[in-house]
Structure 1
């Protein structure tokens, strides 16, 4: 897992720089800069909107005595998506929007749920409760 993260930290920025250079050649410098700033602003707005919606749903579920476990995964995806959108680059922006749009975020939540269930079954993820 650690090797995968190191590889990701090396490959993704290299690809981003390459894409930004290609975009600068194809579109020009100023349109590329405007595109980067626009995706950051749009991403921040979308993250705020989705985050507030998730917070409202979590509060409603807690008021009804339900555990907001699905909303917690929503919040995690929204947080990561918002942070990734603030970094300049087209690949990270695509991934960030993928995490912020509710319909596509469902795929990531299903994937995370499967991983968490496997970790629980293997004993690598322990849930502690208060008594």
Structure 2
């Protein structure tokens, strides 16, 4: 079981190299390299656009007092898609583009939501009810004298002997 990640890494490398060879034999090496760079650029721009859209939806959910858990799962899938699209290769680009599709994101959200423990700390998702009284007003100082109103001679703390 501890060899599974290493096995998956070698399997991924084998799939990517095989696809590179097949595509290069079909369209040429230079076009294959250009296609890899092009798919990475397109993928990154798609992730950027969808990421901003998801961020706006997350802010709207928070402002409406709803749980943003679905948008958070969607943002995780966008991060994973962006990572896969940056790795050069056709198979990882395919997996990254799959993660950008809304039906795939929705099914991923439905599968992951029951396993998530959402703990709220700090702020409210709902509208908070104010407690206590709040008074709104303005303040302006109107006394013209800057001297103390109580002279030190008449102060109760000091007796006549200065003690």
Q: If the length of structure 1 is used for normalisation, what is the TM-score?
A: 0.83
Task: Pick closer, same or farther for the CA change 1:128–1:107 going to 2, 3 Å.
Answer: closer
Match of residue 155 from structure 2: none
For residues 52-106 of structure 1, what are the alpha-carbon distances to aligned partners after superposition, in whole Å with 9 as ceiling and x for unaligned? 0010000011111112000000000000001100111111111100111222222
TM-aligned CA deviation for residue 33 of structure 1: 1.0
Match of 2:3 in 1: 3
Shift of 1:27: 1.0
Runs of 4+ in 1 over 6 A off after TM superposition: none
How far apart are residue 112 of structure 1 and its match? 2.6
**Match of 2:3, SS?**
helix
Contact 2:70 2:113 in 1 (8 A): no
Counterpart of 2:108 in structure 1 is 108
RMSD: 1.9
User: What is aligned with 1:85?
Assistant: 85
Runs of at least 5 residues in structure 1 that lack an aligned partner in the other structure: 118-125
Query: Quick check: which has more Rg, 1 or 2?
Result: 2
Aligned positions, number: 122
1:1-131 to 2 correspondences below 5 Å: 2-114=2-114, 116=115, 128-130=119-121
Structure 2: unaligned runs, 5 residues or longer: 123-163
